[in-house]
């Protein structure tokens, strides 16, 4: 199954302000009918990068069978981690990056890798706030979630 996932994260007062993610899944069924699902959630204290990662994770975790995924994100942090193979180096170095510094958000990177396992995922960067219809919609979902009242705790898993 071919599926497109569009994602965006937002944080107010980054870092450690409220934040949220927006994720849209789009697929065409065997009858040619297009289906779209939207997901979003806000968090009390978080960062933009954590919300960008969570948007991707949620999209992949919603898939119930192996898919060929085109994943669209305006986050260079997420897209370059895979397309420029940063993540391979981080893993090889025990989740360290240049100058032996620890990689941030390891809990979410590990969760993302797990969510990717059954799928073939192609990461595609789109310029944010540039009129891309689905990216703009994800931004609306993410910012509305960040500004909402149903905010969760962003618990970092060690």
Q: At what angle do helices 106-116 and 48-61 cross, to 10 degrees?
A: 20
Cα separation of 20 and 49, whole Å? 10
Q: The tokens of 41 are what?
A: 């959630």
Q: C-alpha 51: how far from its chain's center?
A: 7
Number of Cβ within 10 Å of residue 100's Cβ equals 8
Catalytic residue among 19, 20, 22, 74: 74
Catalytic residue among 20, 22, 119, 139: 139
Catalytic residue among 9, 20, 22, 59: 9
Q: C-alpha 22: how far from its chain's center?
A: 8
9 is catalytic: yes
59 is catalytic: no
Catalytic residue among 52, 59, 119, 154: 52
119 is catalytic: no
8 is catalytic: yes
Q: Is the peptide bond before 15 cis (omega within 30 degrees of 0)?
A: yes
Catalytic residue among 16, 88, 129, 148: 129
139 is catalytic: yes
Is 8 marked within a binding site? yes
* Binding region for Mg(2+): 8, 52, 74, 139
Per the annotation, binding residues are 8, 52, 74, 139
Catalytic residue IDs:
8-9, 52, 74, 129, 139
């Amino acid at each position: 199954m071919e599926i497109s996932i569009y994602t965006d994260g937002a944080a107010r007062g980054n870092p450690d302000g409220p934040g949220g993610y927006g994720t849209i899944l789009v697929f065409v069924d065997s009858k040619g009918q297009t289906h779209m699902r939207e997901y979003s959630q806000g968090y009390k204290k978080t960062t933009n990068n954590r919300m960008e990662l969570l948007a991707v994770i949620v999209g992949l975790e919603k898939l119930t069978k192996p898919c060929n995924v085109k994943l669209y994100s305006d986050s260079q942090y997420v897209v370059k981690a895979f397309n420029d193979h940063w993540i391979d180096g981080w893993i090889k170095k025990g989740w360290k990056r240049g100058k032996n510094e620890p990689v941030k958000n390891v809990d979410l990177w590990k969760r993302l890798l797990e969510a990717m396992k059954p799928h073939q995922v192609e990461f595609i960067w789109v310029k944010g706030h540039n009129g891309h219809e689905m990216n703009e919609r994800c931004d609306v979902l993410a910012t509305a979630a960040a500004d909402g009242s149903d905010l969760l705790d962003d618990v970092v898993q060690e």
